[in-house]
Structure 1
Amino acid sequence: MSASSTMRRVSLRSLAGHKVRLVLTVLAVVLGTAFISGALMFTASLQKTFGTLTESTTRGIDVVVAPADNSGGGLPLDLGNTLAGVDGVARVNISTETTVVVSRDGSTLQTGGAPSFAMAWYPPDRQVGPSATVVEGTEPRGDGEVVVNSSAARDHGITVGDRLTVVDVGGVHDLTVSGIYDIDIDGGGFLGLMMEEPAYVSTFTDGRTASGFSLSAQPGVSQEQLAGEVSAALRTGTDTGAGTDTDTGADTGYGSAAQVKTGGQVAEEQAASVNDALSFVNYFLVAFGLVALVVGTFIIANTFSMIVAQRTREFALLRSLGVSSGQLTGSVVTEAVVVGILGSLLGVAAGAGLTKAIYAVIGSTGAGLPDTGLQVTAGSVVLPLVLGVFVTVVSAWAPARRAGAVRPVEAMRSGDQSTASSLRRRTVTGVGLLAAGVLACLGGVLSDGAGTGIRASLVGVGALCVLTGVFLVSPALSRLVVPVVGRVIGAPFGTVGRLASTSSSRNPRRTATTAFALTLGVALVAVFGMLGASMKASITGFVGETVKSDLVLYGPSDGSFPIPRQALDAARDTRGVTAVSGFGIAPVSVAGTGDAATVGNGGGTGFFDGDPTVTGNVTPVTGDVTLDRPGFIASAATAADHGWTVGGQVPLSATVPGTPERELGTVELLGTYQPNSLLGDLVVSWSALSPYVDEGAFGTGTFASPMLYAAFVDGDGNGEDLRQALEDAVDPFIVVQVLTPAEFAGQQAVFVDQMLNILYALLALAVIVAVLGIVNTLALNVIERRREIGMMRAVGVTRGQVRRMITLEAVQIALYGAVVGVVVGLALGWAFLRVLSGEGLDTIEVPWGQLGGMIVASAVIGVLAAVWPAAKASRTPPLEAVAD
């Protein structure tokens, strides 16, 4: 039998003989690979799910006619008559959907994030696309009746005859449920209302345009043939004014305003869009796995270092028997490969379970997806397997090299020899990296003239150097800090506390490596905590400085639905209200004379329906800033930059997403004001925009027309009475909230909390892996100190005292890691926030409560991590341990 074969058998027997050690090491690999495998399986399953949905939604649709360039604009409803007359066309349906919020008996029907919309109903003999069949009640007739999909009716307890209050951007509608319908693609939690086509057009659209048309072909006509016929008809059809000049010889029909696609092309585009959207989900979930693998790297390296130290005598004996240095190194690497394979395979299995769990959570929200089964791809198995084995082998390489360096004479020694190695070279390197990192961070902070991207990159490089430097310096630092921490927390426990302090500081490399996993997680939490607290403080300051009105009307906290414009009229008619001014975003731009630059937020510019000064702190510079007539106002600096003067006319252009900018006319500059965060560079009056809205200049798309996001209210009399009166007035609009300015600021900060919750979930995984590392280290430490603990038990130390000692050691390690993490996180958070001060984050806020909570939580983590190792240590038989 060859020497290499013999060493492989030794490696495998070593793994089999130390099952606890094997399990603890494998778990570090499992967590990382589970999330990577789960991410790939989840996105593959979602792609299959949405592929099935796409196939269902496009079934029966042969040709789609939509606005050119996928714009938010619309097509004339009269185009439907033209399309119906094209050779080969069997049926034509308008494909417009209107986003709505639905209430019954004063209670809003929640769809858990699934869409809620209204659309046109067609009898079965006129339907194009997925078939809808009334299974209960009757088809809708007239302006006041709708039918509801059966899954939504079942979920929300809707029955025939129920009265629904339906709110869209245009206002409030009271409708009666005439029937319940089944549809091929029913599921996923959506709420679909359907009205008879003429009623839908008059109730939920502008009555002139549609967002598109769906066509079915006559028997024997292919999708491609029908698309060709429709395209030809559009090029030669009746001129709508959207075509080009007849003198140029270009088409004068609908061709320039519309695009024609086959149903197959639409399905492919929808699938590509889904894949693009799912790529973010995939990246995010893979990030979970990579974080776990990065943190797990420290644990795996620590574990193999301890294993090598514990097996020094075994390796030395093997060397004395003729085993070469390379063979010993190969033996440890073989163990790492086995651990990597086992952990990765278990991670793939756990990833499948994780995917099922994610689907279950989605289903519990009411936004369940059709179950198309778990999709296991080759990538979801191979990639985690390769990554898991690679990370494990890389982590074990340095310990494997140390194993190969063991000399035969060390067979006569006992105990862990790793504590004897010098830390000087490691510490000097770490101090150098720390200094370089600090200098890079300071360079980013102090380079005011450079761009934000360059400064942030400098701080990012500095952060990487700082974290690496902390990792290298940490063993030397732990020699100073851990004994102090140990004496403080161990004081109430007397001799046991002193023993714990001595033990945890005896091997600084191990203590520092174990603690660093927690340091990394806590540092990132501290950075993001500072970012979140500072963002919320900046938002609060922004609202506090700009909003001085008594109350604010606002839509859903997630900004998913604008305020219906009728709500402003209802508020203005409320007793005690003296002024109401609504703020929104319109798809327009205001350009300076002879200057092509667009002012405002790209394709969107703020507008006010009413007097902007109602918000407070709008300080005029020249002219009138009340917007009491058609026109716009601008900050004095913006007006000066563009050469605008009060009374001058400035071009106004439509900037509907997906369409070329189109000039509408001109607007007058009515006045200028001092810098104002809410108003920004400029705002337009609603009276200047409304004529273009009435003409349909912005189409019918959800984000094409001006959207109203907040209204500011001033009143007289008792504040609580005014609020109650306003709540009663806007109650029919369902989505409108009545808030104080402070509550409004809190609503604006909701998105910050949502973002942070996602990040904290990611970082929580790092903390979980760090806890596993502490458990791992303590358990192996107990095995290594078997004789020591046995001696202590033999001289009278009780089981309870042993458990307390191990627990105190764990708390010391956790507290050390947390304190270092908080210090590093505060420093890096300050640097990043200073760089971002030019982007509006001019307030730096430290979440002291959160940081203190993390330190306390770290102590609790130490206690929990020590439960099993401490119990194992306390059960050590004194005589057997001493005899080993």
Structure 2
Amino acid sequence: MAKNSTMRKVSLRNIAAHKLRLALTVLAVVLGTAFISGAFMFTNSLDSTFKSAVSSAYDGVDAVVSPGEDLPGIPASLREDIAADDKVNDVNLTASQSVVMANDREEPFQVGGGTSSLAPWYESEEVVGAPHAIVEGESPEAANEIVINKEGAENFGISVGDELLLVDPQERHDVVVTGIYEVELDSRNVLAAYMPEADFLDRYTLEGTTNQLILSAAEGTSDTDLVAHLEENYEGIEVETGDALAERLTEVMSDALSFVNYFLIAFGLVALLVGTFLIANTFSMIVAQRTKEFALLRALGAARQQITRSVVFEALIVGLIGSAIGVLAGIGLVAAIKAIMSMQGLELPDSGLGLSTSAVIVPIILGTLVTIISAWIPARRAGEVKPVEAMRSSEASTDQPLKTRTIIGLLLMGVGIAAAVAGAVMGDSSTSTRASLVGVGAVGVIVGFFFAGPAMSLPIVPTLGRIIGLPFGAVGKLASTNSRRNPRRTAATAFALTLGVALVTAIGMLGDTMKASISDVVENNTNADFVLSGPTNSNFPTPAGTPDAVRDVEGVEKVLTMSTAPVLVDGAASQAMGPHSMTMVIDGDVSEMAQIDVTEGTSDLESTPGVLVTTVFAERQGWSLGDTLELTAPGVGADPRDIEVVGIFEPNNMIQNMVISDQNVDGMLPPGAMSVAMVGVNGDGSVSEDELRANLEEAVKGLIVVQVMSTEEMAGQAGEAIDLMLNILYALLALAVIIAVLGIVNTLTLGVIERRQEIGMLRAVGSQRRQIRTMITLEAVQIAVFGAVMGILIGLGLGWAFLEVLKDEGLDTLSVPWGQLAWMLAGSAVVGVVAAIWPANRAAKTPPLDAISD
């Protein structure tokens, strides 16, 4: 017991005596745990904000009424009956309409990632739930009057009395801002306007039919009593308390946020994985440098287990310190994210820092365990030091054979490559099976490279060193020789960078392939010269007046309108999303909008009205050319009609399942029930493409929301969305690269400490400081370039295998971002230079005589 106590004192004093070494090791733990802790805290903050929003939205709501399965909506008569019920105090609609707002100069307010909406207004004495307080002006009283949220008004410079243009899916309206209101959860990038209830119902509902009502109970009636009363006396509706709905919505949001949490934690674990190799490498070097120290302890009577336990104890201390600092860094990370969001107009009021037990305890436990596991093998190696080692003049450990390690590594890599190739070529197997094989292959290749890396570095790194060091003469040769002396250290240092670059390469291939595939789909499936549509970053449809606005434009030969309508053909729809089913409708020849391969019949639905269906969908439904089917519009009350199958075509990425002629639904649906998805325009050749575009843009300028795009631009816009997604991934993967850079700094610094005598000797025989700095820098560049080259090769291989699996999912145009890879390779050399700055300066300052005397 006394011996254990003594060894613990030795460990603590050793940590205190080597503060630099401690700081370098702690930093690797901090980065991984900070990300995990920050992920927990950030999602806690989001959760708190949304729970508060849901709670306040349904505070004071006693009952929520929704239509039952057999009821398409709540009709006006039923709403009026409920409002007149003795047990009901007030009834409010929860309807909202997406709109686009613009100033009187027809310049739209760009809400970016925010929303722009219009809803019915209720005075404070009539509102169900939390009322909105008017802080300036007065309530709206006419159809052309609105009130607007304070934060949005301030951000976009809107004042009481301003005349605005409001565009909805059907038409545009001139409105006047009569008031500004304040709400608890507000945002600068949100424009939330309200208008009188009666006018909203008249303009945006079908004969007053709504989707949901919220109710407050009359005095003396509890929420549960009100729910029971409504269920008993009104048929066809579903009723629940406001608290029950708030709880359900909160649960849904929590589930959605848990995905965000898992996503962020996954990258924290990647950071910890990369950090694991850095920590293991650091402890291996520390053990090698302390050979004499451990040998002396053994000579003084310390047992193997005591030496091992002392190193593990040091790892425990390092892990606890690093993890605790990581939690503090996580708090700073969350504060920084919230500050950035606030600057972008996305404030999270009353969300706090998101501190919780899991946000503190889990990262500390995880970081400590990772550190101990990383240090376990070096700790066992320390316990195996013989007492006689104390008599050696050098602390450098002798190199251990690489044969066994290399054989294991090559076997693992072979198995991994075989599994990845099998997953790529097994076309008859399921996608999940093939993806699993590629995943197993990825693990095999990466772990195998970790074991075989030292042997693989022996022929590659010195060769790279000679090429890179050629302009630097003797210093370059010396750096090349040095990089060969300890292949274990070289490979372990490069591995962290290899892992990060492999991930970036594979994801880069995925992104480039997605963009190339989307570009091919758009360009190979669209026949129209230009496509006109509403905002692509929201669910806002194309205004119904768009086709008429461009029909008589100079240079236009043909205008085709693709719409969606709530109709069914023989009970089936083009798109079925839960209870909402929509069928595609066109007012002309489909081949003039999209490139399709018609196998039977015709694609001209203008001269031959009917339904055009894909071969796959026709087979599934049992339809044939010439069949007469029933066309219905559920919930609208229209009489069924007959519709004939006039054409069958091969599946097309632009038209899903089927499309019908607009003549078949003419007069069947009420105004506003059919939404315009896009408008195709073909030119007559009388004007140039640029002139036609300019003419179209001028014609739709007054519609505010319409975008004019060529097929290339449609593909480019989809590519921008993919780039945004990839940039988020790259930002997160940058953490792994940062840890890799720190790994190189760590290894070089410890190497400088270990090679103190060698560097002192070089200084003593005439090497100048700049030459020492150059030598250390060249060593770092060699390691970084080796890591990047191997990472690119592994990433290309795994990326190819993964994309072969996804070929059947539409990613059939394999593309490699060669430019990005070239930048990454050049960047790795820069990484080496940056990582070497501090260790190289430290080495250059080594006093020659002091070093030799050591």
TM-score tier, shorter chain, comes to over 0.9
For residues 539-598 of structure 1, give each alpha carbon's deviation from its aligned partner in whole angstroms, at most 9, with x where no partner exists: 111122111321111333435432222222322243332222233555666569xxxx98
Where do 1:291-306 residues align within 5 Å? 291-306=270-285
Shift of 1:750: 2.7
Displacement, 1:170?
Answer: 2.4
The correspondence of residues 606-621 of structure 1 with structure 2, limited to 5 A, is 607-611=584-588, 612-621=590-599
Matches within 5 A, 1:673-688: 673-688=649-664
Farther-moved stretch of structure 1 (603-612 vs 51-60): 603-612
Q: What code does the residue aligned with 2:736 have?
A: A
- Retained in 2: the 8 A contact 1:546–1:616? yes
Map of 1:208 onto structure 2: 208
Asked if 2 retains the 8 angstrom alpha-carbon contact of 1:131 and 1:184, the reply is no
Give the match for residue 366 of structure 1.
345
Deviation of 1:192 after TM superposition, in Å, equals 1.2
Contact residue 589 and residue 602 of structure 1 kept, 8 A = no
Structure 1 counterpart of 2:131: 131
Q: Does 1:815 align with 2:771?
A: no
Is the partner of 1:482 in helix, strand or coil? helix
CA distance, structure 2, for counterparts of residue 424 and residue 665 of structure 1 = 79
Match of 2:99 in 1: 100
Pick one of 686, 708, 722 that aligns with 1:752: 722
Q: Please give the secondary structure, in 2, of the residue aligned with 1:749.
A: helix
Q: What is the deviation of 1:220?
A: 2.4
User: 1:584 and 1:420 mapped to 2: Cα distance?
Assistant: 73
Pairing of 1:663-678 with structure 2 (within 5 A): 667-678=643-654
Shift of 1:391: 0.3
Deviations 1:471-511 (A, max 9, x none): 11110010010001000010001111111111112111111
Residue correspondence of structure 1 range 252-651 to structure 2 within 5 A: 255-256=235-236, 258-415=237-394, 417-418=396-397, 420-584=399-563, 590=569, 607-611=584-588, 612-628=590-606, 630-636=609-615, 638-640=617-619, 642-651=621-630
CA distance 1:693–1:468, shift in 2 (3 Å): farther
Distance across 2 between alignment mates of 1:674 and 1:616: 12
Once residues 81 and 529 of structure 1 are traced to their aligned partners in structure 2, the CA distance between those partners, rounded to angstroms, is 58
Instruction: Name the TM-score, length of structure 1 as normaliser.
Output: 0.92
Report the residue type matching 2:86 in the other structure: D
Cα 1:840–1:653 change in 2 (3 A) is farther
Seen in structure 2, the aligned counterparts of structure 1 residues 73 and 7 have a Cα distance that, compared at 3 Å, is: farther
In the alignment, the residues of structure 2 paired with residue 376 and residue 638 of structure 1 have an alpha-carbon distance, to the nearest angstrom, of: 52
How many angstroms does 1:414 deviate by?
Answer: 4.2
Structure 2 CA distance for partners of 1:689 and 1:284, relative to 1, 3 Å: farther
User: Any idea what SS the aligned residue of 2:550 has?
Assistant: helix
8 A Cα contact 1:565 1:708, kept in partner: yes
Aligned residue for 1:714, secondary structure, equals strand
* CA gap 1:350/1:65 in 2 versus in 1, 3 angstroms: same
Which residue of structure 2 lines up, in the alignment, with residue 739 of structure 1? 709
Partner of 1:700: none
Structure 2 residue 732 is the aligned partner of structure 1 residue 762:
yes
Aligned 8 A contact 1:86 1:229 in 2: no
Distance 1:773 1:475 in 2: 16
Q: 2:574, 2:659 within 8 Å by CA — same for their partners in 1?
A: no
Aligned counterpart, 2:66 = 66
Residues 168-190 of structure 1: CA distance to partner in whole angstroms, max 9, x if unpaired?
Answer: 22232221112222334444643
Unaligned runs of 5+ in 1: 235-254, 657-661, 697-704
- The amino acid of 1:353's aligned partner reads G
**Cα 1:47/1:683, change in 2 over 3 Å:** same
The 8 Å contact of residues 35 and 286 in structure 1, kept in 2 or not, is answered as yes
Q: Compute the displacement of 1:799 (Å).
A: 0.9
**Which one-letter code corresponds to 1:694 in the other structure?**
P
Matching residue's letter, 2:9? R
Paired amino acid for 1:88 = K
Contact 2:187/2:345 (<8 A) preserved: no
Q: Does the 8 Å CA contact 1:591/1:599 hold for their aligned counterparts?
A: no
* Structure 1 residue 409, shift from structure 2 partner: 0.9
Change (3 A) 1:79 1:113: farther
What's 1:715 paired with?
Answer: 683
State the SS of the aligned residue for 1:672.
Answer: strand
What letter matches 2:74 in structure 1?
L
**Which is worse superposed, 409-418 or 858-867?**
409-418
Does the C-alpha gap of structure 1 residues 298 and 599 become closer, same or farther in structure 2, counting only changes over 3 Å?
A: same
Aligned to 2:814: 844
- Distance in 1 separating the partners of 2:52 and 2:352: 12
Partner of residue 239, structure 1: none
- Relative distance call for 1:562 and 1:443 in structure 2 (3 A) is same
Name the structure 1 match of 2:10.
10
Q: Tell me the equivalent position of 2:828.
A: 858
Superposition CA RMSD, Å = 2.3
> For 1:455 and 1:706, how far apart are their aligned partners in 2?
42
CA displacement 1:234-287 (0-9 Å, x = unmatched) = 1xxxxxxxxxxxxxxxxxxxx32x211111112212211221121121112111
CA distance in 2, matches of 1:78, 1:414: 99
Map residues 686-697 of structure 1 onto 2, 5 A cutoff.
686-689=662-665, 693-694=669-670
- Give 1:162-201 correspondences, 5 Å limit: 162-187=162-187, 189-201=189-201
Q: Deviations over 1:311-357 (max 9, x none)?
A: 00110111011010000000100010000000110011111111111
Residue in 1 that maps onto 2:748: 778
CA 1:853/1:363 → structure 2, altered by over 3 Å: closer, same or farther? same
Q: Partners of 2:767 and 2:449 in 1: how far apart?
A: 37
- Cα deviation for residue 120 of structure 1 reads 0.8
Q: Tell me if structure 2 keeps the 8 A contact 1:419–1:508.
A: no
The verdict on how the C-alpha distance between 1:621 and 1:441 changes in structure 2, with shifts beyond 3 A counting, is same
Once the two structures are TM-superposed, the CA of residue 762 in structure 1 deviates from its matched residue by: 2.1
Deviation readout 1:72-95 (Å, 9 max, x if unpaired)? 953212322111121221111111
Over 3 Å counting, the alpha-carbon distance change for 1:357 and 1:721 in structure 2 is same
Alignment check: 8 A CA contact 1:119 1:194 kept? yes
Identity %: 49
Alpha-carbon distance in 2 for matches of 1:524, 1:438: 16
Q: What is the distance in 2 between the residues matched to 1:367 and 1:335?
A: 44
Separation (CA, whole Å) in 2 of partners of 1:689 and 1:111 = 36
Q: Is the 8 A contact 1:190 1:367 kept in 2?
A: no
Contact 2:505–2:795 (CA under 8 A) maintained in structure 1: yes
Tell me how far apart the structure 2 counterparts of residues 709 and 598 of structure 1 sit (CA, whole Å): 16
Moved more, 293-302 or 57-66: 57-66
Closer, same or farther: CA 585–559 of 1 in aligned 2, 3 Å: farther
- Following superposition, the deviation at residue 811 of structure 1 comes to 0.6
For residues 654 and 828 of structure 1, what CA distance do their matches in structure 2 show? 49
**For this pair of structures, how many residues does the alignment match?**
845
Q: Secondary structure at the match of 2:838?
A: helix
User: Given the superposition, is the C-alpha separation of residues 548 and 402 from structure 1 closer, same or farther in structure 2, using an over 3 Å criterion?
Assistant: same
Partner secondary structure for residue 66 of structure 2: strand
Give the Cα separation in 2 of the matches to 1:586 and 1:435.
55
CA distance 1:348–1:651, change in 2 (3 Å) = farther
Query: Counterpart of 1:83 in structure 2: which amino acid?
Result: I
Residue 425 of structure 1 deviates from its aligned partner by 0.4
Q: Secondary structure of 2:846's match?
A: coil
User: How far apart, in 1, do the equivalents of 2:630 and 2:310 lie?
Assistant: 77
Matched, 1:37 2:37: yes
Residue 687 of structure 1 and its aligned partner are, at CA, apart by 4.2
Unaligned runs of 5+ in 2: none
Output the CA distance in 1 between the equivalents of 2:534 and 2:542. Answer: 6
* Separation in structure 2 between the aligned mates of residue 562 and residue 344 of structure 1, nearest angstrom: 50
